[in-house]
Structures are given as structure tokens and as C-alpha cells.
Amino acid sequence: MCGIVGYVGAKQVVPILFDGLKLLEYRGYDSAGIAVLDGEGISRCRRAGKVRDLEQDLRSLPPAATIGIGHTRWATHGKPTNENAHPQVDCHGKIAVVHNGIIENYMPLREQLMADGHVFSSETDTEVLAHLVESLLDGDLLEAVRKAVARAEGAFAVAILSSDTPDRIVVARRGSPLVIGQAEGETYVASDIPALLGRASSVQFLGDDELAELTADGFRVIDFHGNEVRRPSRSVSADPVSIQKGGYKHFMLKEIHEQARAVGETLREKIDASVQTVRLPSLDNAIPEFDHIYLVSCGTAFHASLAAEYLWEQILPVPIQAIIASEFRLRSPALSPRTLVVAVSQSGETIDTLMAVRRAKDGGACVIALVNNEQSAIDRESDAAVYMRAGIEIGVAASKTFTAQISALGVLGLYLAARRGTLSASDVEQEVGRLALLPGRITECLQQEESIIQIAERMHHAHDVLFLARGVMFPIALEGALKLKEISYIHAEGYPAGEMKHGPIALIDEGTPVVFLLSDGLAYDKVLANMEEVKARNGHVIAITDTPDAPAVLKLADDIIPVPASEGISRPILFALPLQLLAYHTAIWRGTDVDQPRNLAKTVTVE
């Protein structure tokens, strides 16, 4: 949520910041702004709305400025207005702050500052930091910021300018991501790597409770206690082309069609198709004997985790439970050194999942991170990690990271079962053989887009859509409903098909679309019976099935989307693909903003 970008060097800073903000739009926001510093002091430009709405106003900023900070805001404290947009400044306009996260104790801090004579001009918690730094500044900006953030409670990332020190930016983080980038004679900071692609040659993620002082010549890092922190930077490996649409109308459509590659890359380092074995050497010495497994995650990652629960239960004779991360801390999970906790997050920075990791660690559990971003907070705080190799995902609605998560979780389950001796070598070989064919199956499945466009046209006027399935397909139904509501704004719900008569059937009337995931061997006849019940109430049946020519399917379904027949880990992945296309094209027919749906953010870093 929100995006921060900053630059100090010799180049004109305004276009750099503007381009950086455009590259962070996928994170979700409702206003944007930039502050720059030159010999005349701090100048800023901010506006509610899109980054592009800033462009004309940027002409008012000094063009020769070579240091500045920018921000995209997702409103938490105060409405999305020009006055509440960042950067926020102190009483005298000498300190500018951009901030992601929430200052939980901002109200008592604000009241104390007002009692000391500070005058506030916004409703934001961010402005408190500007005034707090002002009150603590005595020549050393880094020290003033260190003292200020030590008094702040909550999760946050900040970047701060002071006209008294016009050659540096000070940044700090706790629970919200910041990455520092370097090139010759210039230093960058951003909330995520995409804003640095094509500019920085090396990057370093700032750790929790750390600050950094950035100048054109480099940066130094200290912790909140003032101790120096040293860690190596790493080269930027992502290709700038990955943050371009590549001829597609939207990033989401591009990323849907990148799934064969994303899944293939995720599997490539984890399976050896030549000898049909699984290899996860990073886990060999990291995992103790375990008698309980929790999978903790949020949103789409939770649906992948729930699919893994179904898959793992068939091969691992221990209790396995997928739990929404924000609920994990509110429950009383059985945690011990014999508990394995798998934390699943696309970004590796999801705040609720990070808090669940810390809860698990406090209870003595072994934590495995399953993330797309190495060196992210969840990766760093876990005992071991399994990495997706999906590449950068810009669309807010997850697509390729979902199927990459199921792929990686599936392989992790095979590894754990083989290690415990509950899955034979021949069973592993059979599953690895199927996985080796999966990228090709994905490509085949995505070739029926034209027929899905026609179904989406018929569905886009609906007020309610139900997604029904049984077994491992139930989490996929949940994901299909989530995708549709995220980007088309149609009310959609996913249910186990066996629960239809316990409530959802009340929503079905003339023409209500009901999407069934019907797979041979997964309570097939029972799902057909559910389809009969929907038809009896004049609902519109859409069957996504690996038996498209079955007489019962042809009789009951108004629309049929065929899926290649498969088993094991591949099956839920293949059934997810047409659901993604159906959601995408329904949203296109409705004219919504597919890549940046309202009120949503790619990375949720506030609780």
C-alpha cells in the first residue's frame, strides 16, 4: 500500500521521481505528490487523483533540483484530498516527509506537539512526523529522525528531506518495505524494486528498525539504537522489460499469459525431470521432525495455501491447517519446536503474514517462507525459504503468482512426504512427470480465450455470481470469486458445492450465473446433482470441466469451458486459468480499471 520514491545525485530529479511514481502505481493509491530541494528550499506539488494528474503541476517545481522524494498515498487517516496528500511538511516548510504505514500513537503525539505550539494543516498521521523531527532537529537530521521514529508506534516507512541538510535524504522503516538502490554518483530509495529498474545497478533492502542516510556518494545504515549496520548489496537481476506491457492491453492479461513461463521457472530448480525427483537442498538441514503444519497467508495466497492443505493431506499423515494470517495471532495455535509453519506471500512483506511469522517464531516453531521476493522481510525472518520464480507482477489482482504458489507448495509437499517416507519414490516420479508437462498444458488451456470473451459478455450484467466446487477445487472456486469481485466489482462468492442448499441457493433466480468446477473423480456425480438443482431454478450454469463432451454436461451447462484432463498438483492450477480470463474479460466488458482496481493495493503493509 502506498509508494515511496527518492533520489539524490546530479540529474534533474523531477522526471526521475515522476517516472518512479508511475512504476509504483500498481501498489494502489488515491493521491500523489513530490517534494524537491534546491538552494531556495523545499518545493512541493501534490494532488488527489492519479499520478498523471500531477504532470502539469510539476512545471512549478525548480527544474534544476537534484534531490527529492515522491509518494503515492492510500488513505488511512484523512480523506484523499490535496491537503492530505504527501509530502507533508513542518510548521516552517523546512522538513518534508513521505510515509507509508500507520503511526498508531499519532493522536497523543499530535496533541503534545500542538500544546508546544505546532500548527497542523492536514488530518494525516504523517504530518506528526514532520513536526516531531522539527522539534528534535539540532543540526543532525539522521539523529533527529532516529529519535522521532523511536517514539512512533506501528508499522511505517518514511523518507525525509530537510532544507538545513540539502545534500541528503534520511529514510527509516519498521514493518513496511524500503529498498535502496545505487548507481555511479547517485542513490535511490523506493518501496519496491520496479521503481529502480533501469536506473540502479545494485540494491539493498533496509531491515526492520533501521535508518539510512542517503547522499549522492552512497549511504550508511544504522539501527534505531544508533548502531552501524553492514550488509552486502546485490545486483539488480530483473529485466526492465518485465515492467512493460509488451503489447498487451493490461499487465494482468500479460501476466495471465506468462504463467507457463512463471510456473516453469518455479519448477525448474525444484524438480529434476530427467531422474524425476524433487530437490530443495536449502531445506535439508533446516526442518526438524514435525507433527503439525500450519500454512499462514492472506488473500490469493490463502487460497493457494488452502489448495496445498487439500493436496498435502493426501500424502502427509499429520494435522495440516491453512489459516488466514490476520486470524492466526487471534487464535491459540499449537506451537512447539515440532511445529512447521509455512508463510506464503507474493511480496514477502504482507504485514499480517509477517506478524504471523513472528508469532510462530515466538512459539518455537520452524518457519519456511514461500515468497516471490528474496531478501523480503518474511524471507529474512524465516528459518528457510522456498522461492517462486514468477517474476515481477504488476497487476494488483494476482494471476501468475497464484499458480506459481500452488506449484511451489505442491513440490514442497512432495519433498516433505518423501522425507517422512509417506510417499514412495515411484509416486514422486509420477507426480514429477506430470509437473514436467504442466507448462505446456498451461499454454494449451489459455488458447480458448475467444470463447471465454463471449461468456464474459453474457455475464457482465450480473449482480451476483456463485462459484461452486468440491475437494481441492473449492479453494480454486474461492479464488475465481475473489478475482471477479476484485476487478469487475460484481458481488461473487465461492462455496463448497455441498453447501449450496445451506444458504447460497437463495441467491439463485432467473439467469443468475453459477460457475461449477467439475473434474472427473472429484465428487463428480454430486457436482452434477448440484448443477441440476441450479437448472431447476433457472440459473445460468457455466461448467469449467475436464469432461466437456459428457452427455450430462452437455445437457446441464449453458456454457462450457474445457480444461485439459490432469491429476495431482496440476489439476487445480489448470482450472484456475479460465477463471482468471473470465474475471479479466468480464471486467473489460464492464469498463473497470483492471490493473488498478478501486480501493485495492498490491502489497498490504498496514494491519
Catalytic residues: 2, 602
Return d(Cα 211, Cα 228) in angstroms, integer.
Answer: 10
Do residues 105 and 171 lie in contact, with contact meaning Cβ atoms separated by under 8 Å? no
E strands, 499-599, where?
Answer: 513-518, 540-545, 559-562
The single residue listed with the C-alpha cell 492472506 is 298
Return d(Cα 569, Cα 439) in angstroms, integer.
Answer: 12
Cα radius of gyration rounded to whole Å, the chain: 25
The single residue listed with the C-alpha cell 532537529 is 137
Return d(Cα 400, Cα 462) in angstroms, integer.
Answer: 26
Return d(Cα 337, Cα 435) in angstroms, integer.
Answer: 32
Other CB atoms within 10 A of residue 446 CB:
18
Return d(Cα 335, Cα 363) in angstroms, integer.
Answer: 5
What 8-state DSSP symbol labels residue 605? -
Return d(Cα 522, Cα 536) in angstroms, integer.
Answer: 23
E strands, 419-470, where?
Answer: 464-469
Do residues 6 and 169 lie in contact, with contact meaning Cβ atoms separated by under 8 Å? yes
The single residue listed with the C-alpha cell 518423501 is 418
Q: Which residues of 10-26 are buried (b: 16+ CB within 10 A; e: fewer)?
A: eebbbebbbbbbbbbbb
Other CB atoms within 10 A of residue 108 CB:
11
Return d(Cα 584, Cα 485) in angstroms, integer.
Answer: 11
SS3 at position 9: coil
Pick from 50, 45, 14: which is nearest to 29 by CA?
50
Pick from 198, 222, 268: which is nearest to 20 by CA?
198
DSSP 476-518: HHHHHHHHHHHHH--EEEEEEGGGGGGTGGGG--TT-EEEEEE
Angle, in degrees to the nearest 10, between helices 570-590 and 473-488: 20
Return d(Cα 95, Cα 35) in angstroms, integer.
Answer: 10
